[in-house]
Chains A and B, each alone.
Chain A
Amino acid sequence: EAGVTQFPSHSVIEKGQTVTLRCDPISGHDNLYWYRRVMGKEIKFLLHFVKESKQDESGMPNNRFLAERTGGTYSTLKVQPAELEDSGVYFCASTLLRDPGAEQFFGPGTRLTVL
């Protein structure tokens, strides 16, 4: 069974440009999460999808970030326009159940560098 995949693995862009990150969860996992780790800080929650619906986007930093999950399969996270402070590693995770004890399966992350 394939794990959570993320694309690209690395992205280097100029301030003001647009970047789109993609996450493919484990097949059949309705719950999809985005997290971000800014350099030296803790990993922080961004938002949660159940199928194609946003359940909680309380962690989204501002309206320059837009997440979508059309069709309830893969998800994209767009940053437009990117700022220097957006640099970090963006992780995606998925889980079949919303049970609080259920394991979240993480992808390898996308390292975003904004110059």
Chain B
Amino acid sequence: AQSVTQLGSHVSVSEGALVLLRCNYSSSVPPYLFWYVQYPNQGLQLLLKYTSAATLVKGINGFEAEFKKSETSFHLTKPSAHMSDAAEYFCAVRGSGSARQLTFGSGTQLTVLP
């Protein structure tokens, strides 16, 4: 079985500051890892994914994440926060079962302060 832990349900950063959202996973098989973002009144949008190729994954809107097997982590970063980054962010791991359903973390609400 897979599981995901997102540390910090709420994170606040100043505009222009580094964004770091933490995600740790548990998986008995090589994982497929995803970061999704949900803006208000919208569906989840894929930011980036790790599928066993490069360990540093670049996504949309300047976000990137690094897969660290030794730490079972897949933290999301962005060098400089923008007001438009305010949203809820979800880390997810893909199952090895037949359904290939996603197992999500509990989400991190990012607030960007002016």
A107 touching B51 in the complex, CB below 8 Å, given contacts A42-B104, A43-B90: no
> CA–CA, A107 to B36, complex, Å?
13
| Contact surface of B with A, Cβ cutoff 8 Å | 4, 32, 34, 36, 41-46, 49, 51-52, 90, 94-107
Chain A residue nearest in CB terms to B94 = A100
| Total CB contacts across the A-B interface at under 8 A | 67
Q: Which residues of A contact B98 (CB under 8 A)?
A: 55-56
Does residue A25 face the partner (Cβ distance < 8 Å to B)?
no
> CA–CA, A55 to B99, complex, Å?
7
| Contact surface of A with B, Cβ cutoff 8 Å | 3-4, 31, 33, 35, 41-45, 48, 55-56, 58-59, 91, 93, 98-104, 106-109
A109 near B43: Cβ-Cβ < 8 Å: yes
Interface pairs (19), CB distance under 8 Å: A33-B102, A42-B107, A43-B102, A43-B104, A48-B99, A48-B100, A56-B97, A56-B99, A91-B43, A93-B102, A98-B100, A100-B32, A101-B51, A104-B46, A104-B102, A106-B44, A106-B45, A107-B43, A108-B43
Chain B residue nearest in CB terms to A44 = B104
Q: Chain A's interface: helix, strand, loop or mixed, by majority?
A: loop
